[in-house]
Structure 1
Amino acid sequence: MKLSTANQQILSLAALHMGFSVMSKAFGFYYVKVFLNFYHIEEKWFQISQILFLIWNAINDPLFAYFQDTTNLWFTRTRRESILYAAPFFALSFIVPWFGWRGEDTASWVVGMHLIVSLCFWDTMFTFIGLAACCLFTEMSQDQDMRIKLTRFGQLGSLLGSTSIWVIEYSSHSLQDFHMFQITCCVIAVIAWLLMRYTGLTAHTEYDLKKLSSEKMLTGNEEINHNKKPQSYFRMTWQILKERDFLSFVITNFFQEFHLTFLGNFTVIICDQLVREADVAIGIRSTFYGIVSVSSQLLVITAAPLVARCGYFNVIRTNFLWKIAGGLTLFMLGLRSPWLLMLFMWIDSCLGHATFALFNLPLADIADEDMAKYNRKHPISSMVFGTNALIVKPAISLSPMFVVAILNRYGYGELKKENGLSKDELSSLHNVMFTMVCLYPLVIGTIQFVVWSMYTIRTVKSTSKQIIIPAPETQ
């Protein structure tokens, strides 16, 4: 049965989100623990790798964004083709971290190089496909209701993809069976590639189809104007950066990424220390990790009508109020119950990731405003998303650097050694972990509430007509 154009769009985007999520959730959740606890990477090399990752992270987003918006190569002609040809390499980048480069007597720098290569290779493909995915979302429709529907079903795909943590936890017995962990990750990579390949073959935007149609109509001596000189990268970047709404958004987004990276990388580490097996069995903890990974998608799917009615601005700001109130309340109550701690971390992660899932909506609006203001024929979606990433992505490196430095100052690195920590030292480490769980949302939420209040695109935008995209010809 042939799907309608709108349904084809929704299914293609949902498949992309599922393929993207099935790998990205597992990568962020496990790579720090694997390199700290299994490869025993030295702090020096961990910090060096994060610094290099930060630099490459900052460079590749605007570079790929300008490349995708201004070139017409065989693998960048359309958004879907960028995804189609990059998907196998993205799957490969997910597998690289889980197969160690060292034996027992290998120098520590080999482990450091393994992490550097893993992070940079992963982020290269993550960025290239991620930019194309964001542009697909922006350019499929300018109708706000359709965008919310795309967000809703995209999160349904992400929900299915997020079960990868559950699968890994149970198949590897919380990484106790590392060989099974490796096998499971290889299977996940293949599934992700197949899903993204489907998107690469079927996802079309209005602008891509118009472009392809115009190329077929040109014959004889008529030339396709591919060689038209693109606008300067620095001029386009300045046009984006000087907008108040964009600045308000990216500052908010930076701190959101900083907070979510902390939750994604250190939830399992903190719970392993603060939640004892005597209080909560390891099987229940594994279930908890799985629930944390899927709850935000369920929330977005069920709350989409609320977002459409209230507007994303108000929904996002409400999350910042929760961070302030929740962090302050937990700090005042103290570390009394592991169940209370797990409940707080679950709600914090759920609301934080659900809010982050809505961030494509303001970015899409900013891209629309930019196209209207500068009278562009095609939205520079990649440049808008890439410039956002230029500012936001360093948080992905700075957050774990900051946390690892603090934890090691309080003896976390000594836990892996034979003598371990004394009772007082262990108590001090646990106290600083608990304090970070409380202060991260409290401080970050306060900053975000103030900055986000300066964002001016607050009305629910809904066009009277939905853009209808003609069905593509059979490939």
Structure 2
Amino acid sequence: MPSSLLSLKFSKMAVSRLLGLAYGSMALFLSILHNVFLLYYVDIFVSVYKIDKQSFWIGETIFLLWNSFNDPLFGWMSDKKFLSPNSCKDITTTEVIKQRLRALSVHGPLFTLSFMSFWFLWTYPGLQFTVCLCVYDGLLTMVDLHHSALLADLALSAKDRTKLNFYSSVFGALGALSVFFSYAVWDKGDLDNFRMFCVMLTVFSFCGFFFSSRFLLKIFSEIHKKDDHFQSSSSDMSGYADNQPEVSLKVYVKQLRKHSNFQWFAAMNLVQVFHCHFNSNFFPLFLEHLLGEQLSSSTASLLLGASFMAPHINNLYFLSLCRKYGVYTVIQYLFYIKFSLSLFMFFIGPNYVVFLCLFIASNRIFTEGTCKLLNLVISDLVDEDCVIHGRKQAVSALMFGTTALLSKPGQTLAPLFGVSLLAFETGYDIFASDHGGALKINNAASENEDLLRSGCFNCLVYIPLLCALLQIVLWSKFTLHGKRLNWVKDVRSGAAWYTV
């Protein structure tokens, strides 16, 4: 559709809605692939391709190192030019957004092709495992960084950012449906149906990423043409920025070390990532040993599948609260609720099946829901970083990438700390990782099931209690809310800004 017709056909509100739909739809194209990847990539290499144990652990180790450093690496590659006042002097916010959309139109389709590389054996299993993991995670990081950075670049106000996050949650929930459909076609003995299913998902996401990013770019370009006020987001600070020295990586790290709100958030987020991965790792174990006799396998599988979708749906309500009360307050009360529910469960014990079932489900759902609000906080940190350091352009991707780097230890600490705590509580020191990401206890005699059940219950309650307590303390030190946040927004909006 010609741009002139576009401006005539849609009102400003309709165009705003189209922007939100195009932005949010990318969460659909990503989640329908990534959820399937998480469930089956290890199983297919171990059970079907018969990868040997040594190659598996070598691949996982290389992946762990690559996964830890590619977030800040790609963020730095994407945004380092914005740290130099001279090189970014003529780069407007409009051009920054266009660059991110062009990157998504390339990296998004490539990401979908990397997803397909897992389901067909094309070389030695050990080599394919390592190459596929690194390529997939690298492209996933590029897509996720640019998509998250757009949240900070496309909108400034909390209202507009929660609106964009709302669309992402809706489409993310739809993407979780691929988990349910995948069960119907997954068969280790005959992968033809599963492979065809993955091909269909890939084609759908390939086209989706390409056309949604191009469509978003087209709409955004049209809005910029007719918005005389949309200029550089930092034009009012340009004179100040021009006098600043070029920022190297070493200087940027020093700046972050002095950015107190970033440090308090990073510490809180580390605990949050730890808790999220602890829930994911031990969710099947808690179902088996605490609710195994009360729940059928089909009900347990349904509960597990629903846990992928429920956080997205639940997040829609949280976002409405964020628009009314602010993100800081909503997250603060979620920590209080987590602490209160854990304390309540601790006192009533493991024998109330209904409460236990609700607690296990809500513990994962609410914790994952909190994670989905944190991008809004990182976007505010992007604004504060831009203001306090007088940057001509915000370094959104770099900020998201650095935050991801500092949260990575939580992924490793979760199973290690959980295994140690379970060993202490149950007396069993031998734990083995099954290849679905859960942990199972071996050599547990049936006569000791009560001890095992009690130990699992203690772990189920102790971890959220401890995490909530730490997060309440750390979050109380975070000051980027209220007057401080309003001041940051006022400074950034001193230059005209487009909001959806």
Which TM-score tier does this pair reach, normalised by the shorter chain? 0.7 to 0.9
| Residue 318 (structure 1) aligns with | 333
Distance 2:133 2:429 in 1: 24
Please give the secondary structure, in 2, of the residue aligned with 1:138: helix
The 3-state SS of whatever aligns with 2:298 is helix
Distance 1:346 1:183, change over 3 A: farther
Give the secondary structure class of the aligned counterpart of 1:78: helix
Which of 300, 304, 312 is matched with 1:297 structurally? Answer: 312
Whole-angstrom distance in 1 between the partners of 2:49 and 2:350: 31
Cα deviation, residue 327, structure 1: 2.8
The 1-side partners of 2:45 and 2:456 are apart by 20
Deviation at 1:241, TM superposition (A): 3.4
Letter in 1 for 2:470: I
Distance 1:329 1:76 in 2: 47
Where structure 1 has 5 or more consecutive residues not aligned to the other structure, the ranges are 103-109, 214-228, 471-475
Q: Which residue of 2 aligns with 1:253?
A: 269
Structure 1, 348-357 or 110-119: larger mean CA deviation: 110-119
Q: CA deviation at 1:380?
A: 0.9
Q: How far does residue 305 in structure 1 lie from its aligned partner after superposition?
A: 2.5
1:131 is displaced (CA, Å) by 0.7
TM-superposed deviation, 1:356:
1.1
**Matched residues in 2 for 1:423 and 1:34: separation?**
31
Q: 1:346 aligns with which of 343, 361, 381?
A: 361
Shift, 1:307, TM fit: 1.2
Alignment of 1:408-423 (within 5 A): 409-412=429-432, 422-423=445-446
- The CA deviation at 1:245 is 0.6
Moved more, 249-258 or 285-294: 285-294
Q: Does 1:191 align with 2:204?
A: yes
Look up the equivalent residue of 1:166 and give its one-letter code.
F
Instruction: State the one-letter code of the partner of 1:376.
Output: R
Q: Within 2, Cα distance between the matches of 1:438 and 1:379?
A: 41
Residues 75-133 of structure 1, C-alpha deviation per residue, up to 9 Å, x if partnerless? 9971111111112332233344455789xxxxxxx766555444433321121111100
CA RMSD of aligned residues (A): 4.1
Correspondent of 1:356 among 371, 385, 389 = 371
Q: Does 1:467 align with 2:497?
A: yes
**Counterpart pick for 1:437 among 460, 475, 483:** 460
- The AA in structure 2 aligned to 1:67 is M
Alpha-carbon distance between aligned partners in 1 of 2:56 and 2:342, rounded to the nearest angstrom: 29
TM-score between the two structures when normalised by the length of structure 2: 0.75
Give the alignment's TM-score, normalised by structure 1: 0.79
| Paired residues for 1:385-396 under 5 Å | 385-396=400-411
Q: Find the aligned partners of 2:309 and 2:31 in 1 and give their Cα distance.
A: 10
Q: Which residue of 2 aligns with 1:81?
A: 102
Per-residue CA deviation, residues 413-456 of structure 1 (Å, 9 max, x unaligned), is: 69999x97532466665554444322221222221111111100
Residue deviations 1:283-341 (CA, integer Å, cap 9, x gap): 32232223212212222213323211211111111222222233333344443355544
Deviations 1:355-374 (A, max 9, x none): 11111111111111121222
One-letter amino acid of the structure 2 residue matched with residue 438 of structure 1: V
Aligned 8 A contact 1:259 1:444 in 2: yes
Aligned 8 A contact 1:68 1:76 in 2: no
Which letter does structure 2 place at the counterpart of 1:293?
F
- Contact conserved, 2:109 with 2:205, CA < 8 A, in 1? no
Q: How does 1:136-215 map to 2 (within 5 A)?
A: 136-172=150-186, 180-204=193-217
Q: Structure 1 residue 184: deviation in Å? A: 3.2
CA distance in 1, matches of 2:195, 2:285: 20
**Does 1:371 pair with 2:394?**
no
Larger deviation, residues 309-318 vs 319-328: 319-328
Q: Separation in 1 of the partners of 2:189 and 2:458?
A: 29
Amino acid at match of 1:124: G
1:272-287 to structure 2, matched below 5 A, reads 272=288, 274-276=290-292, 279-287=294-302
In the TM superposition, residue 400 of structure 1 has moved relative to its aligned partner by 4.0
Aligned to 2:472: 449
Unmatched segments (≥5 aa) in structure 2: 1-5, 82-86, 88-94, 228-244
Paired residues of 1:28 and 1:264 also in contact (CA < 8 A): no
Q: Does 1:57 align with 2:67?
A: yes
The match for 2:15 is 5
Asked whether 1:380 is paired with 2:395, we answer yes
Task: Determine the C-alpha separation between the residues in 1 that align with 2:53 and 2:339.
Answer: 32
**Distance verdict in 2 for CA 1:122–1:438, change over 3 Å:** farther
The amino acid across from 1:200 in the alignment is S
Alignment partners' CA distance in 1, 2:311 and 2:466 = 22
